[in-house]
C-alpha cells in the first residue's frame, strides 16, 4: 500500500514534459520486492521507456528510508529517469517497508559491512528487473557512501560510485571537527554573543563540552571493531582490523571505476571528511586521481535541504553518470 501511494503521488512525473527547451523521457515507477537473508525488501524502480545500459542504485544513509530527507531520493530518481537512466531506491532490512530488525551496534564497520549484503541483493534484483542494464552506479549519502566504498570493489557490475558527505567518523576525528569547525562558527556568530550577553548560555556546560572534545581530539581512537561479514568477494583479512577511514580508503584504492564526490560546505560530516582525507597521504593521492570528479556546495546542509541544492546535486549526478 505504501509503495502504491508513493507511486500515485508521483504519477504526474511519469509523463512527457518539456524542461528548459528539452523534452524529458517518459518513464514509469515499479514497486519490487526481493529477499535478503530471509527478509523482504521493498524497492521502487524508475524505468525509462528506453532505458540506458547504466543504472543508478540509490542507497539510503542513516535511519531513513527510500524517499529521503525532503524527498531528495524521489526527486533525484525522477530527474535521472527523465534523462533515460533507470534508477532503483530501496529500504534495507529493518527500515521503511522492509522487514527485519535494524542492524545496529557500537561497531560502525560491522554495521556498514552488514549493509553490503542488502546492496548486493538489490543490484541482483535491479539487473533481473531491467534487462537492458550492463553496469550500475551506487549513489550514497553519509553512511551509504561509506558502505558503497566497502562494497563497490567486490562487484564488477559497479562502474561508478557517487559519494555525498561520506561518513568517516571516529571519536578522535569527530572531536577535531567540532574544535575546528563548530566552535569557530559559534565564536563568529552574532547569535552566540547575544545569548552570552543576555546570560542565556550555560558556560559551565559549554566549557565542559569543550574540554571533553579537546581530550578526545588528543587521545580518542577509532570505535570501529572487527567484522567478519562478506559478500561477492571476501574482504581481505587486513581490512577488518582497520579504522573506518582506513577501511574506506582501502575500498577506494581497490575500486577502479569512476568516482563522484560532492561535499556540503555547511555540514560537520563533510567538514570531518575533508579534515580526515586532507591529513592522510593515501586519501590525498586517491582523491587526486583523474577518475575522481569533485564538487563543493559552499552553503549546503548535510541533506541538501533547499530546492536549488537538490537540483544542483541531481544535475551533477546526471551529467556524471552519462560522461563515460
Average pLDDT over residues 74-101: 95
Per the structure block, which three cell numbers stand in for 201? 548560555
Per the structure block, which three cell numbers stand in for 190? 552574532
The string of pLDDT tens digits covering residues 183-193 is 455 555 566 44
Extents of the domains making up the chain: 2-170+229-321, 174-218
- The superfamily in CATH containing domain 2-170+229-321 is Alpha/Beta hydrolase fold, catalytic domain (3.40.50.1820)
User: What is the C-alpha separation between 144 and 160, in angstroms, rounded?
Assistant: 14
Per the structure block, which three cell numbers stand in for 27? 518513464
The answer, yes or no, to whether residue 273 has pLDDT greater than 80, is yes
Kindly report the pTM of this predicted structure. Answer: 0.77
* Residue 85 burial by Cβ neighbours in a 10 Å radius (0-12, 13-18, 19+): buried
Per the structure block, which three cell numbers stand in for 16? 512527457
CB contact set of 234 (below 8 Å; sequence gap of 6+): none
The answer, yes or no, to whether residue 161 has pLDDT greater than 50, is yes
Element (H, E) at 212: helix 203-219
String of DSSP letters for 55-80: EEEEE--SS--TT-GGGHHHHHHHHH
Other C-beta atoms within 10 Å of 301: how many?
17
The answer to whether the beta carbons of residues 308 and 296 sit under 8 Å apart is: no
The string of pLDDT tens digits covering residues 20-61 is 445 577 999 999 999 999 999 999 999 999 999 999 999 997
Amino acid at each position: 500500500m505504501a509503495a502504491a501511494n508513493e507511486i500515485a503521488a508521483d504519477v504526474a512525473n511519469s509523463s512527457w514534459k518539456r524542461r528548459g527547451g528539452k523534452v524529458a523521457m517518459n518513464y514509469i515507477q515499479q514497486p519490487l520486492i526481493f529477499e535478503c537473508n530471509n527478509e523482504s525488501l521493498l524497492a521502487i524502480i524508475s524505468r525509462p521507456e528506453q532505458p540506458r545500459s547504466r543504472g543508478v542504485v540509490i542507497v539510503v544513509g542513516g535511519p531513513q528510508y527510500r524517499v529521503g530527507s525532503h524527498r531528495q531520493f524521489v526527486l533525484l530518481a525522477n530527474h535521472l529517469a527523465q534523462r533515460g537512466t533507470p534508477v532503483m531506491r530501496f529500504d534495507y532490512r529493518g527500515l521503511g517497508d522492509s522487514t527485519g530488525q535494524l542492524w545496529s551496534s557500537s561497531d560502525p564497520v560491522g554495521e556498514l559491512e552488514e549493509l553490503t549484503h542488502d546492496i548486493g541483493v538489490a543490484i541482483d534484483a535491479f539487473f533481473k528487473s531491467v534487462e537492458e542494464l550492463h553496469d550500475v552506479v551506487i549513489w550514497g549519502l553519509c553512511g551509504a557512501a561509506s558502505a558503497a566504498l566497502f562494497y563497490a570493489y567486490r562487484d564488477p557490475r559497479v562502474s561508478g560510485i557517487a559519494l555525498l558527505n561520506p561518513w568517516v567518523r571516529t571519536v578522535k576525528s569527530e572531536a577535531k571537527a567540532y574544535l575546528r569547525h563548530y566552535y569557530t562558527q559559534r565564536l563568529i556568530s552574532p547569535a552566540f554573543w547575544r545569548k552570552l550577553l543576555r546570560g542565556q548560555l550555560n558556560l559551565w556546560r559549554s566549557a565542559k563540552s569543550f574540554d571533553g572534545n579537546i581530550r578526545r581530539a588528543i587521545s580518542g581512537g577509532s570505535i570501529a571493531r572487527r567484522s567478519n561479514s562478506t559478500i561477492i568477494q571476501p574482504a581481505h583479512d587486513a581490512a577488518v582490523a582497520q579504522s573506518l577511514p582506513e577501511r574506506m580508503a582501502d575500498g577506494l584504492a581497490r575500486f577502479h571505476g569512476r568516482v563522484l564526490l560532492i561535499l556540503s560546505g555547511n555540514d560537520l560530516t563533510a567538514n570531518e571528511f575533508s579534515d580526515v582525507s586532507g591529513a592522510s597521504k593515501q586519501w590525498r593521492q586517491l582523491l587526486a586521481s583523474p577518475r575522481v570528479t569533485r564538487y563543493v556546495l559552499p552553503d549546503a546542509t548535510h541533506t541538501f535541504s533547499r530546492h536549488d541544492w537538490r537540483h544542483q546535486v541531481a544535475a551533477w549526478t546526471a551529467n556524471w553518470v552519462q560522461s563515460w
